Every structure is written in C-alpha cells, then in structure tokens.
Amino acid sequence: MGLLVSALIVSPALAQKVSKENVSAINTARMRAESINGGLSNYRAAKCMYATGKGGGDCLKNASDGFLFVFDGGAPGWQEAAEPPTVETEILISDDGASVLEVVYNGDPR
C-alpha cells in the first residue's frame, strides 16, 4: 500500500502545477460566458471550465498569446442530463488571466 501511495505522489500528472494565471483565466472566461449567456439561472459552462486543477483540461486550446478557451454550454444541468449543448464559446484571456482580450465566438455549436 505504501508503494502505491508513493507512486501516486510522484506521478507526472500529479506533479504538474497549474499557474495562478491559468486558474484566473479559467474563472475569467467562465464568468464572461455566464454573463453574455444570461447568467447562472440560464446557463452553465462545460465541466472542463470548472477544472481549475487541470488548467481547463480539454477547454484550453492555446496558452501562447494569452489563454484561449473553447467550450460548450447550455441550460443548467445540460451535461448531467446528457443533453446536447446549445452554445459554444471561444474566448481569449490575457496572459495574467485577469481580462478578456476577445470573445472570438459565442453562438450555436459549430
């Protein structure tokens, strides 16, 4: 059991740290998407946009000129109910994670 625990501790996946800028960028992008799509009573971003420990997971497409996130969204509970998304958002966040540089796309899923 101790060997298993030590193997998990040094696992490369667990050893990677997500920067505070990346965490801030995820939150900034998700909050902007919530705002432009009617607020939390009408909209929820894809689960990957809540995965701050994973840096946004599959939603993070590029981090070279800021943080570019592309993610789906829909009515509250859409993913849990296995419903299709109703909105796709592509949004570029600044390198420091604090501001939206551009909402590239927000509309029907492409």
For 36-86, how does the pLDDT look when each residue is reduced to its tens digit (9 = 90+)? 999 999 999 999 999 999 999 999 998 888 999 999 999 999 999 999 999
Alpha carbon distance 61, 43 (integer Å): 22
Task: Write the DSSP string, 75-89.
Answer: STTTTTTTPPPSEEE
Alpha carbon distance 50, 98 (integer Å): 17
Q: What percent of the chain has pLDDT over 90?
A: 81
Contact 79, 47 (CB under 8 A): yes
**What are the tokens at 106?**
């927000």
Which pLDDT does position 68 carry in this prediction?
97
Distance set, CA 13 to CA 24, 47, 50, 90 (Å): 21, 19, 18, 26
Average of per-residue pLDDT values in the chain? 89
**Tokens 């796309």 correspond to what residue?**
105
Alpha carbon distance 82, 4 (integer Å): 35
